[in-house]
Amino acid sequence: MAELDGRPVTVDELQALALTNYGSFTSLRVDDGRVRGLALHLERLTRDSRILFGVDLDQEHIRSLVRRVAPRVGAATIRVTVFDPETDLGHPSRADNPRILVTQRSAGVLPLPPLSVQSTVYRREVPHVKSVGLFASLHHRRTAQLYGFDDALFVDEDGVISEGVTWNIGFYDGNRIIWPTAASLPGITMLLLQDAYQHIDIPVTLSGLSTMQAAFATNAAIGVRAIARIDNTELAGDHPILDILRTEYLDIPGEQI
């Protein structure tokens, strides 16, 4: 299902999104008509719209559009994309009338199996914006999969860890939860977990992985997903802290759409 401003979207309207790839989005998981961190998702869309288009969004309008396609019973993943169908490659400065595209897909059954990830040197452009420009990120994911891994993990030239392709990464050293401080997109699931569970924010490097007992990926679609291997470093994909974090996350009440 795909709607633009509350009606079926046309191919012509999607052309600018496909050809210019300029816009932002957020993905949220709906469970029985409720969304964990809904206000944070709306705030991020509004913030990114100011950065990309120089305008504010009507958050109540977005809620109404999500409500149209979200199931009242059961689970679904909803993606809200903000873009201007009139965007011109030659004059992106004229993109100032963003529209709201809402799409729905089925939600996965949680928890998902542990990930294996391959580190790669990369930093997303404008990392604090959740951009629709996913070419480089998906290229790194594809490369990692061709080498037998599930996904890619972004690091800098010194091996400082930042984030995954579409997820944040956290660690457990046996005493505390650690979130890397390198520049990355602050994901909604990560922010909710930071409020729910004591943690520290410090740099994490590939060379320091031997001090970690567990690692995990977070985003709205996967919740808390274990990472069992980073490059050649094995981690406990069934560490008890993972179940604790999943419980903490699932206990966060969802907001009614």
Residue with the two structure tokens 């790194």 = 140
Residue 54 CB neighbours (<10 A) = 11
Are the C-beta atoms of 73 and 58 separated by less than 8 Å? no
Are the C-beta atoms of 218 and 189 separated by less than 8 Å? yes
d(CA 35, CA 174): 31
| Nearest one of 254, 208, 199 to 230, comparing CA atoms | 208
d(CA 183, CA 188): 15
pLDDT band at 79 (very low <50, low <70, confident <90, very high): very high
The confidence score (pLDDT) of residue 63 equals 97
Tell me the average pLDDT of the chain: 97
d(CA 153, CA 144): 9
Span(s) in the chain for CATH 3.30.470.10: 2-106
The confidence score (pLDDT) of residue 90 equals 95
CATH of 2-106, one of 3.90.650.10, 2.60.40.10, 3.40.640.10, 3.30.470.10: 3.30.470.10
Q: What is the pLDDT of residues 124-164, one digit of tens each?
A: 999 999 999 999 999 999 999 999 999 999 999 999 999 99
d(CA 155, CA 105): 31
Instruction: Examine the pLDDT at 108 and tell me if it is beyond 90.
Output: no
Instruction: Examine the pLDDT at 242 and tell me if it is beyond 90.
Output: yes
Span(s) in the chain for CATH 3.20.10.10: 115-256
pLDDT band at 51 (very low <50, low <70, confident <90, very high): very high
pLDDT band at 115 (very low <50, low <70, confident <90, very high): very high
Q: What is the pTM of this model?
A: 0.95
| pLDDT above 70 coverage of the chain, percent | 100
Instruction: Examine the pLDDT at 52 and tell me if it is beyond 90.
Output: yes
The confidence score (pLDDT) of residue 1 equals 84
Q: Which residues is 201 bridged to in the sheet?
A: 179
Q: What is the pLDDT of residues 197-240, one digit of tens each?
A: 999 999 999 999 999 999 999 999 999 999 999 999 999 999 99
Token reading at 116:
């294996």
Token reading at 104:
């729905």
d(CA 20, CA 99): 15
| Nearest one of 75, 9, 4, 80 to 38, comparing CA atoms | 80
Give me the architecture of the 115-256 domain, per CATH: Alpha-Beta Barrel (3.20)
DSSP 8-state assignment for residue 9: P
pLDDT band at 171 (very low <50, low <70, confident <90, very high): very high
Q: What is the DSSP string of 86-137?
A: T--TT-GGG----EEEEEEEEPPPSSPPPEEEEEEE---SSTTS-BS--HHH
pLDDT band at 7 (very low <50, low <70, confident <90, very high): very high
- Enumerate the H helices of the chain as residue ranges: 11-20, 38-53, 59-69, 135-146, 188-196, 240-250
